[in-house]
A and B are shown apart, each in its own frame.
Chain A
Amino acid sequence: SGAAWARGLLSWARPERWLASGSLFPLSCIHSSTALQKIGKWEKKNRIVYPPQLLGEPRRPAEIYHCRREIKYSKDKMWYLAKLIKGMSIDQALAQLEFSDKKGAKVIKEVLLEAQEMAVRKHNVEFKSNLHIAESQTGRGRYVKRLRCHGKGMFGMMRISRCHYFVKLVEGPPPPPEPPRTGFDQAKEYVQQLRNRTLVHTL
Chain B
Amino acid sequence: VLVLVRSPLPRLRALLQRCWGRMERGLWPGLFGGQSPPWGPAVAVQGLALVPQGINDSGESSTEAPSLLESVVWMAAPKQRRTIEVNRCRRRHPSKLIEIKRNIDVCPECGNLKQKHVLCGYCYTKVKEETRLIRMEIYKKEGGPFNSPTVETVVLYEGEKPTEKDDSKRIIERARKRPSWFVQN
Residues of B within 8 A of A80 (CB): 96-98
Cβ-defined contact, B97 with A99, below 8 A: no
Residues of A within 8 A of B104 (CB): 95-96, 98-99
Complex: how many Å from CA A99 to CA B114? 8
Complex: how many Å from CA A102 to CA B99? 13
Q: Is A76 an interface residue (CB 8 A)?
A: yes
Cβ-defined contact, A84 with B115, below 8 A: no
Q: Which residues 27-85 of A sit at the B interface, judged by CB distance below 8 A?
A: 76, 80-81, 83-84
Query: Interface size (B, Cβ < 8 Å)?
Result: 10
Q: List the count of A-B residue pairs having beta carbons below 8 Å apart.
A: 26
Instruction: Mark interface residues in B87-110 (1 if CB within 8 Å of A CB, else 0).
Output: 000011000111011001000000
Q: Is B113 an interface residue (CB 8 A)?
A: yes
Instruction: Mark interface residues in A78-104 (1 if CB within 8 Å of B CB, else 0).
Output: 001101100000000001101110100
Chain A nearest CB, measured from B71 CB (Å):
24
The chain A residue sitting closest to B121, CB to CB, is A98
Cβ-defined contact, B97 with A83, below 8 A: yes
Chain A at the B interface: mostly helix, strand, loop or mixed?
helix
The chain B residue sitting closest to A76, CB to CB, is B91
Cβ-defined contact, B100 with A96, below 8 A: yes
Complex: how many Å from CA A76 to CA B90? 13
The chain B residue sitting closest to A91, CB to CB, is B113
Cβ-defined contact, B97 with A84, below 8 A: yes
A-side residues, CB < 8 A to B, are: 76, 80-81, 83-84, 95-96, 98-100, 102
A/B interface sample: 20 pairs, CB < 8 A: A76-B91, A80-B96, A80-B97, A80-B98, A81-B98, A83-B92, A84-B97, A84-B98, A84-B100, A95-B101, A95-B104, A95-B113, A96-B101, A98-B104, A98-B113, A99-B101, A99-B104, A99-B115, A100-B98, A100-B101
